[in-house]
Amino acid sequence: MARTRALDYEDRKKDILKAAAVLFARKGYSETLLEDIAEQCGMKKSSLYHYHRSKHAILHSLISWKIEDLAWKVEAAVEQEQSAEKKLRAFTQTLVSEYIRVPEEVTVLLTQMRYLNRPAMRSVIVIQERIINRAVILIQALRPDVEMTRKKVTALAMMYFGMTNWIHVWYKPSGSIKPADLSALIVDTFVNGVQHLPVEQLN
């Protein structure tokens, strides 16, 4: 007879991913053992296999879940706005909010992806490129007067992500700068820079 799943199966599976995120962010994927994850979850190592077949499967599920969730949230936020600048503000606010809300998960996404095998890496990169391409479109729309080359607008997108992707490392939630203020500061700085670049630097 097939083994039935508990009603809270998906919740427990997600709890394991969140616990693993804390350990992967703190110790790194290679230094974290399944025993560590089991202990963090308050369960036996053997019980983990009911939810995830390996440590790599946990990493893949964690990164896939986080990047899919992030892609969905930024796309939904952007669709609520009309102008190019407001779309970029919504995009940025969503990124900043998520990076501050779940710093461990973001750390794993940004630093531990290299431990994925090739098939897993490819599946994650497809979603990652959705987010990057969305940023590229938003940045292009900031300068309708210029036909930017793909190379230039991609470089601008990477500079933009350089401003957003590492705030979870240094940002202090207890400090005087609130997430909304930080998001606005990033957008104001970036938009002001892009809008004042001479045409010859963009094509």
Query: Using one digit for the tens of pLDDT, what is the confidence trace for 69-124?
Result: 999 999 999 999 999 999 999 999 999 999 999 999 999 999 999 999 999 999 99
Single pTM value for the model: 0.89
Tell me if the domain spanning 59-201 has CATH number 3.30.70.360: no
Nearest of 49, 61, 50 to residue 20 by alpha carbon = 61
Residue 7: per-residue pLDDT: 67
Rounded distance between C-alpha atoms, residue 85 and residue 142, angstroms: 7
The ranges of the chain with pLDDT < 50 are 1-2
Q: How far apart are CA 171 and CA 157, in angstroms?
A: 21
**Structural contact between residues 16 and 41, judged by C-beta atoms closer than 8 angstroms:** yes
Exposure string over 89-110, b if 16+ CB within 10 A, otherwise e: bbbbbbbbbbbbebbbbbbbbb
Model pLDDT, residue 2: 47
DSSP assignment, residue 30?
Answer: T
